[in-house]
Structure 1
Amino acid sequence: MTVGLSLLALNLRPAIGSVSPLLDDIQESVGLSDSAVSVLTTLPVVCLGVFAAVSPALSRRMGTPRALVLGFLLLIVGVLVRLDQAAWALFLGTALAGAGLAIGNVLMPAVIKSAFPDRVRLYTGIGTAVLSAGAALAAGVAVPLRNATDSWSGSLALWVVPAALGLVVWLPMVRRTGRPAPAAPGSAATGSLLGDAMAWQVTGYLALRALVYFTALGWLPTILADLGYSNATSGALLSVAMLVSVPGALFAPILVGRKGTAPIATTIAVAGAVSLLGLLWAPGIAALWVVILGVTLGAGHAMALTFIGLRAPNPQVAAQLSGMVQTIGYLVGGIAGPLLLGLLHGATNGWTVSLVLLAAFTLPELILGLCSSRDRAVRPRTRQAATAREQQAPQSPALVD
Structure 2
Amino acid sequence: MSIAEQETRAEETIATGRAEETGPSRRGALVGTPLLVVGVALAASNLRPAVTSMSSVLGEVRDGLGASAVWTSVLTAVPTICFGLAAIAAPLLSRRLGMARAIGLAMAVLTAGLVLRVVDGPWVVLGGTFVAAAGIAIGNVLIPVVVKQSFPHAVGRVTGVYTAALAAGGGIGAAFTPPLEPLLGGWRGAVGAWALLSLAALVVWTIGARHGEPEPVVRAADAEERRPMVRRPLAWVVTAFFGLQACVAYVAMGWLSELFVSVGVTRTDAGLMLALINLIGIPLSFVIPPIALNRASQSGWIVGLACCSLAAVAGLAIAPAAAPWLWTVLLGVGMAVFPLGLGVIALRTREAAETTDLSAMAQGFGYLIGATGPFLFGILHGLTGSWTPSLVLLGAVIVAEMVLGWVAGRPRYV
Shared fold (TM-score greater than 0.5)?
Answer: yes
What secondary structure does 1:117 align onto?
coil
User: Which residue of the partner structure matches residue 266 of structure 1?
Assistant: 303
* Structure 1 residue 32 displacement after superposition: 4.0
Counterpart amino acid of residue 289 in structure 1: W
Equivalent positions of 1:107-146 (< 5 A) are: 107-146=142-181
26 and 181 in structure 1: CA distance in 2 versus 1, 3 angstrom threshold? farther
Q: Where does residue 348 of structure 2 map in the other structure?
A: 311
CA distance in 1, matches of 2:413, 2:347: 8
Structure 2 length-normalised TM? 0.81
User: Which residue number in structure 2 is paired with residue 397 of structure 1?
Assistant: none
Confirm or deny that 1:45 pairs with 2:80: yes
Cα shift at 1:88: 5.1
Helix, strand or coil: the match of 2:413? Answer: coil
Residues 27 and 356 (structure 1), Cα distance of their counterparts in 2 relative to 1, 3 Å cut: closer
Contact residue 16 and residue 97 of structure 1 kept, 8 A = no
Out of 142-151 and 194-203, give the one that drifted further.
142-151
Which moves more between the two structures, 345-354 or 255-264? 345-354
The number of aligned residues is: 376
Q: Percent identity?
A: 36
Letter in 1 for 2:397: F
Q: In the alignment, what sits opposite 1:374? A: 410
Moved more, 340-349 or 249-258: 340-349
Contact residue 15 and residue 79 of structure 1 kept, 8 A: yes
1:321 maps onto 2:362 in alignment: no
Structure 1 partner of 2:376: 340
Deviations 1:283-338 (A, max 9, x none): 423321221111111x11111111112112222222211111111111112x2223
Deviations 1:191-241 (A, max 9, x none): 520111221111111111112112222332344455555555444433332
The equivalent of 2:119 in structure 1 is: 84
Q: Which runs of 5+ in 2 are unaligned?
A: 1-35
Structure 1 gap segments, 5+ residues each: 379-401
Alpha-carbon distance in structure 1 between the residues aligned to 2:272 and 2:201: 30
Structure-1 separation of matches of 2:72 and 2:388: 26
Contact 1:249–1:295 under 8 Å retained in 2: no
Note the C-alpha offset of 1:158. Answer: 2.5
Post-superposition offset of 1:77: 1.9
Residues 1-400 of structure 1 aligned to structure 2 (within 5 Å): 1-82=36-117, 84-87=119-122, 89-172=124-207, 176-177=211-212, 185=220, 187-188=222-223, 192-225=228-261, 227=263, 229=265, 233-257=269-293, 260-281=297-318, 283=320, 284-297=322-335, 299-333=336-370, 335-345=371-381, 349-378=385-414
Aligned twin of 2:8: none
1:178 Cα offset (Å): 8.8
Aligned residues of 1:111 and 1:315 also touching (Cα < 8 A): no
Could you tell me the TM-score, scaled by structure 1's length? 0.83
